[in-house]
Chain A
Amino acid sequence: MNGERWHRVKVLLEEAIALDAAERSSFLDRASCGDSELRSEVASLLSSHEQAGTGFLKTAVLDLKQSMPANNRAGRRIGVYQIVEEIGHGGMGEVYRACRADGQYTKEVAVKLVRGGFDSAFVQERFRNERQILASLDHPNIGRLLDGGTTDDGVPYLVMELIEGTRIDSYCDEQKLSISQRLQLFRYVCSAVQYAHQRLVIHRDIKPSNILVTKEGAPKLLDFGIAKILDPALGAGSETTMARPMTPEYASPEQIRGEPITTASDVYSLGVVLYQLLTGRSPYPGETRSSHDLARAVCETDPGRPSTAVVKPQTVRSSEEIEHIAPEKFSSPREASPAKLQRRLAGDLDNIVLMALRKEPQRRYTSVEHFGEDIRRHLEALPVTATKGSWRYRAGKFVTRNNVSVTATAVVMLALVAGIAATVREARVARRQAEIASAERVRAEKRFNDVRKLANSLIFEIHDSIQDLPGATPSRKLLLDRAVEYLDKLSQDSSGDWDLQRELAWGYQRLSTVQGDTSQSNLGQISAAEVSFRKSIGLFEAVAKANPRNLTDQLNLAMAYRRRAFTDIYERSGRQEIAQALAITEPLMQTDAAKVEVRSERGLELQILASIQDATGDRLIAVDTFRQYLDVSQGILRTNPEFKDARRSVAHAAIQLGYQMGRFGNRDEAMQFLNQGIAQFEVMIKQGGNPDVIRDLAASEVRRGQIQLMRGDPNAALADFRRARETTARLAKLDPENRMLQSDMCGLDFDEGRTLTIRGKVAQGLPLSQRSLQCYIDLHLEADTGPGMGALESWIAEGHSRMHNLPEGLKHYRNAATALKADVDKYDDARCDLAMVQTKIGGTLLKMGKLQEASAEYAKALDMAKLDFSIEHRDIPSLYAAADADAGMGAIAVAEASTTQDLTLHAKLEAEARADYQKSLNTWKQITNPAPVSGNGYVPGDPKEITRQLEALGPSTS
């Protein structure tokens, strides 16, 4: 159908829908004008319309508009408050003048709606935590927080004392207050902030618009503690957001950089306010005011002395024009002239302001009290404590310390982490102070818990969200370093606090994952990941040891060991780590097996143990372990069918068991398990399984096909591969960008190709083998995805060899050997495969008549087959390789014997051949139930053929 046609259909459809059902048919007959195709099209859509009912697409994914600034609410009610008028709005939301509608409280109040998608439950929770503290802030210069709640449409709001007044900066200018008068006024502000600090409340967002001066001339600080209520970084919810209330112009460097916010941060913001009151300018003047430039300036540029600033014109860029504002404009409300103002500010006031504005919190006034006190001393002409910073200080120790180049994004992002440690410390101090009333201590505890919960996750969330940004690496490194610092700092005095230690353990756990994630753009922090993991385990161990009856603690420790073992699956340490995990769940399986979590953990451990056993050559022991894993999974499905992925685990376990058994044990019995697993997947798909389950089914069919091949039934194998191909192709078509599915398709080429080659249809098989190799190369998949280069090259070589193109076969076998050598140290499969490929190289050279070289390859193969785990565990694939290599050695001796005239040598060579063949047969005997295709997918020699060769040599003549 094209657009034009659709338009015609649409018009008819609209009209038809508007009609009663009974009239539709006759309407369509008339309106379609004999165009039967058009008629049936409209009729079909009509029926879809009926079927869709009202439910289809009815519920939108989200309501975007709800969070958009709403229309004026004047006259409406918010909670018990009747809105009178809007009195302001800003980034956070609107502020309304309101009065209580129920008449309980006649005074007018300010109602502040909190917009920007703040989760209302979260704000309420924060509000509940803070309201006691904030309501207790009873100071003449602090605007009170009265109430809070959520509107009918889910917008959080706060109710505050209504302050009618003018911003402090405008007030001073309008009233033309002198410098001394401004300082007096400012001292009231300081006393209010100091009062709050003594009650462990930090304002966090001091700025002129939050300081109003009433008609009576009294300054009032607004929004005390609001920044904290609204600070997602300090919330308990998981729906953390990426920004927090902060006004960059007044924010301290530590706030911008995302460092602890302390009372010193308020000192800094007060310093900025004072700077502006005295000079009329920002400490960081600039033509442009992008938040990035500003953030940079705050962190890196030393502010100019107030006395110097006031004699310079101010450059302002407004839209396209650059405007120079004469210094008189700023000085006139303050002093007679800029020069006079300069003299007034030089000395004490320069020093006082700059001391408050120091980059390092610890170099500022130690408290607001000291700040205010110095102003008083100045006003009373007493010596002030503020001095010029030392040269070293001004030279900017700061700059050298922070020369990490952070992108604008990172600066903003880092700001989000701010305050965490400070609040934590603050709360910890509070809860140690015995004199604090117990109710307050509980609150402090609560606050502390909220904070640290989020503190851990926030850092990682930011990390994840910036990790793909170009140039973010230094910032990410900074973040991770900060995370380390933060966690280390907290763990220092965490002894005995098990809750904290639990969370720290998880924090380190996550940190280690991020640090060690090599699949992401690499931060080169593998050893740091190691350190974090060790710290995490250390904490889990301590907690588990101290709380032997806490099941979760025991399981956490087991989980940590298990995850460790999983990353070390190819390392020797993996075995030990999984043993530690199993040692924990072992007794729990006796005492707490009723708990599904215990059995689930046990199952996962068994699964990893089996994988480790397989990777290190204990193939048959792994079969038993997979069997136990299946038992555990089946138990969970029986008792807790609703447990996460219960059925899927059974299916996975059955497939893993069947596959392992098929490769190394009883291939017929293995079929039962493979069939069982496949049946489970089919059940899940019938119940509406998602694409992952469908893919699992296809992958399982592939495994069954591979075992069929080993059973000597290539036709059945081919049927499985083709079924899997059909399913996978369907999935891949729906999800064309899914590389996993593309990789599966490459793998199917590989399996089908070699099956055809084994069946003797080399002309069909070889091109598929070649295609699969190319397919993996084109996908740029990592070396360990799919069958691997070694296997891919081997089957191309096998194809060429079977087509009697020996040099080409040799070339590809050598490619295979090169690829496998890279992994030889990693796992037994690569060792066994390499031994097998070397045997194949030897065989090819033998056929080419290059006896010397062939002999050398066989010798290498024998060495490889006997290496390490392989010999220790009599690893089955290595036995196939060794048997073939010895047989090859025998064949070489026979060939050499046939070329010599020397009878003694001839006899000696024949004796060697007999010995080699015998060795090969002895090795074959160790393989129970030899397969026509080995567990690693290679076609080995035939023991019967060796017996024939041996018999052909005749009895020993000696």
Chain B
Amino acid sequence: MPLVYDELRRLARHYLRQERNDHTLQSTALVHEAYLRLAGQNPPQWQNRAHFFGIAAHVMRQILVEYARGRSTAKRGGGAFRLTLDEAVALPQHLDVDVVELDKALTGLAELDAQQSKIVELRFFAGLTIEDTSEVLGISPATVKRDWVTARAWLFRAMTGEATA
């Protein structure tokens, strides 16, 4: 597990480092693919499908947050002021959601209700349907649906910062 995880992160970091913006979506696909590929390797790193989805969703979340934050400590020379030269790295632009904010909010939600946070992770970062999510978490679809709705409301408020809980 740790090896796979690290490897993925590396792949992701590498692809996301590419300068061209149009790499963004492809890179997601790539990470995804790499993940599946690694998942297919023996010995399998997870006990079952549910476990796999759980990990994959979490990894995707990590990757994207890292990406959104991904700026390395660029060097500045000689105390002289040198703003970014042409080697500057572009930031992601395609996501409608601020992933870093969402990540923070999800961490906050997990403190109140870990399952709800997980539901959002599975649905948003791995694209699982309500049925899939219920299967993965071993809870009823109705619960997933209810938890999803209230989690969204909570997250939306946390991310727009209109009130503090």
Q: Which residues from 33 to 76 on chain A have a C-beta closer than 8 Å to any C-beta of chain B? A: 41, 44-46, 48-49, 51-52, 55-57, 59-68
- Majority-rule SS of B interface residues: helix
Given contacts A2-B112, A6-B112, A117-B37, A60 and B78 within 8 Å (CB-CB)? no
Q: Is the CB of A242 within 8 A of B11?
A: yes
Q: Given that A6-B113, A10-B113, A786-B79 are contacting pairs, would A57 and B74 also be in contact in the complex, using a CB cutoff of 8 Å?
A: no
User: Does chain B have a CB within 8 A of A224?
Assistant: no
Q: Mark A786-828, 1 if CB is under 8 A from B, else 0.
A: 1110010000000000000000000000000000000100110
B127 → A minimal CB distance (Å)? 4
Complex contact B82–A611 (CB within 8 A) = yes
Nearest Cβ on chain A to B85's Cβ, whole angstroms: 7
A94 at the interface (CB under 8 A from B): no
**Binding stretch for chain B, among A101-109, A306-314, A733-741:** A733-741
A508 to B121, CA, bound (A): 42
- Cβ-defined contact, A1 with B78, below 8 A: no
The smallest beta-carbon distance between A291 and chain B, in angstroms, is 8
Beyond A41-B165, A49-B153, A735-B69, is A116–B126 a contact (Cβ under 8 Å)? no
Q: Is A607 an interface residue (CB 8 A)?
A: yes
B150 touches A45 (CB 8 A): yes
Q: Which residue of B lies closest to A743 (CB)?
A: B73
State whether A239 and B153 are in contact (beta carbons under 8 Å apart), knowing that A607-B85, A696-B83, A740-B71 are contacts in the complex.
no
Pairwise interchain contact B36-A67, C-beta atoms closer than 8 A:
yes
Closest to A51 in B: B156
Task: Specify which of A48, A614, A788 lies most central, judged by the most chain B CB atoms within 10 Å of its CB.
Answer: A48
Q: How large is the interface on B (under 10, 10 to 19, 20 to 34, 35 or more residues)?
A: 35 or more
Which of A91, A409, A823 is B78 in contact with, Cβ under 8 Å? A823
**Once the chains bind, are B69 and A738 in contact (CB under 8 Å)?**
yes
Q: How far is the CB of A514 from chain B (nearest CB, A)?
A: 12
Q: Which of A174-182, A652-660, A846-854 lies on the face that meets chain B? A: A652-660
In the complex formed, the residue of B with least CB distance to A40 is B163
Q: Which of B49, B76, B78, B113 has the most CB of A within 10 A?
A: B78
- The answer to whether the Cβ of B144 comes within 8 Å of any Cβ in the partner chain is no
CB of B33 within 8 A of CB of A652, answer no
B91 A692 Cβ-Cβ under 8 A: yes
In the complex with contacts A13-B150, A461-B14, A645-B88, A61-B78 CB distance below 8 A = no
Given A41-B165, A52-B156, A63-B127, CB of A738 within 8 Å of CB of B71: yes
Q: Please, how many angstroms separate the alpha-carbon atoms of A656 and B80 in the complex?
A: 10
| Contact (Cβ within 8 A) A61 B11 | no
With contacts A49-B149, A242-B11 taken as known, whether A64 is within 8 angstroms of B127 at the C-beta atoms is: yes
Pick the contact of A690 from B7, B91, B120 — CB < 8 Å? B91
A7 within 8 A of B: yes
Q: How far is the CB of B122 from chain A (nearest CB, A)?
A: 9
Question: Is B124 within 8 A of A61, CB to CB?
Answer: yes
Give Cα A240 to B76, complex, Å: 33
**B127 with A241: CB separation less than 8 A:** no
Q: Which of B17, B32, B76, B82 contacts A62 (CB 8 A)?
A: B32
**Which residues, 47 to 85 on B, are CB-close (under 8 Å) to A?**
49, 53, 56-57, 60, 64, 69, 71-85
A14 proximity list for chain B (CB < 8 A):
146, 149-150
Note all chain B residues with C-beta closer than 8 A to A198.
Answer: none
The CB with the most chain B CB atoms within 10 A, among A68, A614, A735, A739, is that of A68
Give Cα A743 to B73, complex, Å: 9
Contact A65 B83 (CB under 8 A): no
Which residues from 78 to 108 on chain B have a C-beta closer than 8 Å to any C-beta of chain A? 78-86, 88, 91, 95-97, 100, 102
Query: Quick check: B124 and A57 within 8 Å, CB to CB?
Result: yes
- A788 and B78 form a contact (CB under 8 A): yes
Q: Report if B28 contacts A (CB, 8 A).
A: yes
Which B residues are in CB contact (< 8 Å) with A196?
none
Complex alpha-carbon distance, A443 and B85, angstroms: 41
Given contacts A61-B64, A239-B26, contact A117 B33 (CB under 8 A): yes
Interface string of A369-409 (1 = CB under 8 A from B): 00000000000000000000000000000000000000001
Q: Quick one: given A49-B153, A829-B78, are A60 and B132 in contact (CB under 8 Å)?
A: no
Chain A residue numbers with a CB within 8 Å of B71 are 691-692, 738, 740
Report the minimal beta-carbon distance from A424 to chain B, rounded to whole angstroms: 24
On whether the beta carbons of B132 and A48 are closer than 8 Å, the reply is no
**Chain B contacts of A743 at CB under 8 A?**
73
B152 and A52 contact, CB distance less than 8 A: yes
Are the CB atoms of B76 and A785 closer together than 8 Å? yes
In this complex, the member of A45, A466, A604, A826 whose beta carbon has the largest number of chain B beta carbons within 10 angstroms is A45
Check B40 against A91 for contact (C-beta < 8 Å).
yes
* A740 and B154 within 8 A (CB): no
Q: Which residue of B lies closest to A614 (CB)?
A: B80
Contact A241–B34 (Cβ < 8 Å): yes
- Pick the contact of A239: B17, B30, B77, B112 (CB < 8 A): B30
B128 within 8 A of A: yes
CB contacts under 8 Å to A, within B147-162, are: 147, 149-150, 152-157, 160, 162
Q: How far is the CB of A657 from chain B (nearest CB, A)?
A: 11
Instruction: Report yes or no: B73 in contact with A739, Cβ–Cβ below 8 A.
Output: yes
Assess the A655–B111 pair: CB atoms within 8 A: no
Query: Inside 8 A of A782's CB, which chain B residues have their CB?
Result: 75
A468: CB under 8 A from chain B?
Answer: yes
Minimal beta-carbon separation of B59 from chain A (angstroms): 10
In the complex, what residue of chain B is closest to A736 when comparing beta carbons?
B69
Do residues A51 and B160 form an inter-chain contact, with CB atoms below 8 A?
A: yes
Contacts of B154 in A (CB 8 A): 45, 48
Contact of A778 with B by CB under 8 A:
no
Query: Are A62 and B73 in touch, CB under 8 angstroms?
Result: no
- Closest chain B residue, CB of each to CB of A693: B91
Is A699 on the interface with B (CB-CB < 8 A)?
A: yes
Q: Does A186 contact B (CB under 8 A)?
A: no
Question: Would you call B79 and A791 a contact (CB within 8 A)?
Answer: yes
Which listed residue (A63, A64, A656) contacts B83, Cβ 8 A? A656
Contact A65 B127 (CB under 8 A): yes
The answer to whether B53 and A64 have CB atoms under 8 Å apart is yes
Given contacts A1-B112, A119-B29, A608-B85, contact A242 B78 (CB under 8 A): no
Contacts of A787 in B (CB 8 A): 79
- Give the shortest distance, in Å, between B68 (CB) and chain A (any CB): 9
A656 contacts B29, CB within 8 Å? no
CB-nearest residue of chain A to B101: A734
Sorted from nearest, which 9 A-B pairs have the closest CB atoms? Answer: A117-B33, A60-B127, A63-B127, A49-B153, A48-B157, A52-B156, A739-B73, A6-B112, A64-B126
Q: List 15 A-B contacts (CB under 8 A).
A: A10-B150, A14-B150, A17-B153, A56-B97, A61-B28, A62-B127, A67-B36, A68-B49, A116-B37, A465-B10, A655-B83, A692-B84, A696-B83, A784-B76, A785-B76
Known A116-B36, A461-B14, A645-B88; further 5 A-B contacts with Cβ < 8 A: A51-B156, A239-B26, A239-B29, A468-B6, A690-B91
On A, residues with C-beta under 8 Å from B are 1-3, 6-7, 10, 13-14, 17, 41, 44-46, 48-49, 51-52, 55-57, 59-68, 91, 116-119, 238-243, 291, 409, 461, 464-466, 468-469, 519, 566, 569-570, 604, 607-608, 611, 614-615, 645, 652, 655-656, 659, 690-692, 696, 699, 703, 734-735, 737-740, 743, 781-782, 784-788, 791, 823, 826-827, 829-830
